[in-house]
Structure 1
Amino acid sequence: MDLRQRFADPTEQQDAAGRGLQAGMWTAVPCTIVSVDYGKQTCSVQPTQKVAVRKPDGSQEWQSLPVLPDAPLHFPGGGGVSLTFPVKAGDEALAIIASRPTDSWQQSGGEQQQNARRMHDLSDAFVMVGFRSNPKALSGMSSDAVQLRSDDGLASIALKPNGQMDINTPGAINIAAASDVNYTGTINVTGDIVLNGISLKTHKHTGVTTGGDNTGGPVS
């Protein structure tokens, strides 16, 4: 039995009531991605903080919170451009709990009337990925550049305050443009450049003659 049920203490009663209200008010909770709907940019997440539940016999049991479904997933964006991530199940995230219902806004966008009176409810979560617990912290983070990188650090694009940009990848870099690719500056290449199967380093020319004539086209 809870001892507060045996002794009448108005101050303790008020404190208990306040703590009870706080216990039902959610603001933010760490969670794990369960599934992602890329079509709607929403996800289902499992909160990772268990809650203590007092049983009828007075004992206490730690229980998992329910999965939060269909929560809007945050991708940074604005002005007609966005940055997206291949979010997958198991990724760590933070669920931000709205102070009022978000159903009408999520369905229709714009300014909407509230369709319920709930406040700080777990069902009104917005999810942000990128937060990490200590065991999943990234290694080799740059302290002098902003990076777009793979978690293992093998592939990265880094921009430094002095304007220098570094690109590193163990694989290929593919560029597809509907129009011309224009470049101004000097290109220093270690290796070779291959254009339509013709090596810039080892190609030969046809129609070679002495004198002032031009050679023929290059061959692979």
Structure 2
Amino acid sequence: MAIFSQTRSGDLSETLASEREQIKDQIRVALPGIIQSFDPSTVTAVVQPAIKSVQCNNDETTTTRDYPLLMDVPVMFPRGGGVTLTFPVKAGDECLVIFADRCIDFWWQNGGVQEPVDFRMHGLSDGFAIVGPQSQVTKISNISTGTAQLRTDDGAAYVELDPQNHDLNLVTPGKLNARIGNDIKLTAAGRLNAIIQGETMITSPSITLNGNVTINGNLTQGMGSAGGTATMNGPVNVTRDVTAGGKSVMTHTHGGVQNGGGSTWGPN
């Protein structure tokens, strides 16, 4: 962006005021932006600043124009302690670009404490993109004011933590897939609620449930025609009938019954 820095006519105070305005006009602090593309391998984005630049002309008029595209802008995800919360950044997402005081090139390439490549300050090429700021056009609705949520923008699926009741709620209209390589342990002082409108699949070498288990629905054991082994210590109380090998426990009969000490035949 062209900035005309020649001194305008007038007294000293007017000249200094004009120079201050020009200096401030060259300082970049933060701008809303729109993601044009995201590279997950470098964790950088191409960003279009969403506020136009203002150019002061020598005749004291102003004109506006688009800022150039900001290339290779590092994208910031919440991160710390070896854990990162990521989300699928897409073109059209709104963001806030914060411009560093000094050149970040060597730091971005090598990490650690580095010398500046040059002495530019608040440069357009030294921005960081924080994805998440929302204009009124793209803002989400139905934000929970009593719980913390990790949610889809439409609110159809979310993980929710209730700080008052210490409840953890999981709501999804789709599938819940759990692939566990080692152990999983869930401990809740309150209630663990999972409301799932679609299919749930858990794949694990071993699953142990400690506590009373209530199943509201059908229970199928075994895998296809191969079946499987079910072992219970008992006692087993069944309110209604039990069928084993096609024979009803409540209604089956025995053939070859005779008085004496012999045993009956198998059930019919």
Under TM normalisation by the shorter chain, which class is it?
0.7 to 0.9
**CA distance 1:207–1:160, change in 2 (3 Å):** same
Check the 8 A contact 2:243/2:249 in 1, yes or no.
Answer: no
Check the 8 A contact 2:160/2:169 in 1, yes or no.
Answer: yes
Deviation of 1:81 after TM superposition, in Å, equals 1.1
Deviation of 1:136 after TM superposition, in Å, equals 1.2
Is 1:178 the counterpart of 2:217? The answer is no
Q: Give the SS at the match of 2:133.
A: coil
* Structure 1 CA distance for aligned equivalents of residues 89 and 153 of structure 2: 12
* Partner residue in 1 for 2:127: 125
Is 1:168 the counterpart of 2:171? The answer is yes
Equivalent residue in structure 1 for 2:145, among 143, 148, 162: 143
Deviation of 1:60 after TM superposition, in Å, equals 2.9
Q: Given residue 139 of structure 2, which amino acid in structure 1 is its aligned partner?
A: A
* Partner residue in 2 for 1:40: 42
* Structure 1 CA distance for aligned equivalents of residues 23 and 214 of structure 2: 66
**CA distance 1:30–1:176, change in 2 (3 Å):** same
Deviation of 1:115 after TM superposition, in Å, equals 1.0
**CA distance 1:184–1:140, change in 2 (3 Å):** farther
1:29-178 aligned at under 5 Å gives the runs 29-55=31-57, 59-161=61-163, 162-178=165-181
Higher relative contact order (CA 8 A, sep 6+): 1
Deviation of 1:52 after TM superposition, in Å, equals 1.9
Q: TM-score, normalised by structure 1?
A: 0.82
Is 1:206 the counterpart of 2:208? The answer is no
**CA distance 1:57–1:169, change in 2 (3 Å):** same
* Structure 2 CA distance for aligned equivalents of residues 114 and 30 of structure 1: 26
Segments of 5+ residues of structure 2 without an aligned counterpart are 1-6, 183-205, 228-241, 251-268
Segments of 5+ residues of structure 1 without an aligned counterpart are 212-220
Q: Give the SS at the match of 2:156.
A: coil
Deviation of 1:77 after TM superposition, in Å, equals 1.1
* Structure 2 CA distance for aligned equivalents of residues 23 and 183 of structure 1: 64
Identity value in percent: 36
* Structure 2 CA distance for aligned equivalents of residues 119 and 76 of structure 1: 26
Task: Choose 171-180 or 16-25, whichever is displaced more.
Answer: 171-180
Aligned residues: 203
**CA distance 1:163–1:41, change in 2 (3 Å):** same
* Structure 2 CA distance for aligned equivalents of residues 72 and 194 of structure 1: 50
